[in-house]
Copies of this chain bind each other. A is one copy, B any other.
Amino acid sequence: MGLNVYLSGEIHTDWREQIIDGAQGLDITFNSPVTDHDASDDCGVTILGEEPNKYWHDHKGAMVNAIRTRKGIADSDVVVVRFGEKYKQWNAAFDAGYAAALGKSLIVLHGPDHQHALKEVDAAALAVAEQPSQVVEVLRYVLTGTLPG
């Protein structure tokens, strides 16, 4: 058994690298959204033409990014969604809902402060973790049946 894992959400810390590094040796293919913030914001207008209105500027970029996001989630067995300390992060919650509706196994990663605000998202998850290392341990257990320690 191998796994295809999509890493959605917060892009300001190195949680993706921690998970990918920790999971070395496991039969996992990781995918992610584009995490270069400027490229992600500007991809639409840079490629398809400028927009004077910021709303359409954002819209064009979000549509192009959706090609990658949809493919990443559709191909995945497991979707990990990380909520960081800052920002609204509505795209992360949107991805969680999208993944849940497709029947993907959902792992949510967030600190204890967000428990109440994320209760509906957590209720759709099969694991709720606080640390990237816990996500690695879940993935290792799922694939190999071995527990840490």
Contacts and interface: CB of A to CB of B under 8 A. Distances in A.
Main secondary structure of the interface of A (DSSP, over half): helix
Among the interface residues A68, A72, A87, A93, which one has the most CB atoms of the partner chain B within 10 A? A93
B70 A105 contact: yes
Report the copy number of this chain in the oligomer: 8
Question: Which bucket holds chain A's interface residue count?
Answer: 35 or more
29 contacts: A36-B145, A39-B141, A39-B146, A47-B138, A47-B148, A48-B128, A53-B53, A53-B56, A58-B116, A58-B122, A60-B127, A61-B119, A62-B123, A64-B141, A64-B142, A66-B120, A66-B126, A67-B78, A67-B126, A68-B143, A88-B118, A89-B90, A90-B120, A91-B120, A94-B120, A96-B97, A97-B99, A97-B101, A98-B98
Among the interface residues A88, A105, A119, A134, which one has the most CB atoms of the partner chain B within 10 A? A119
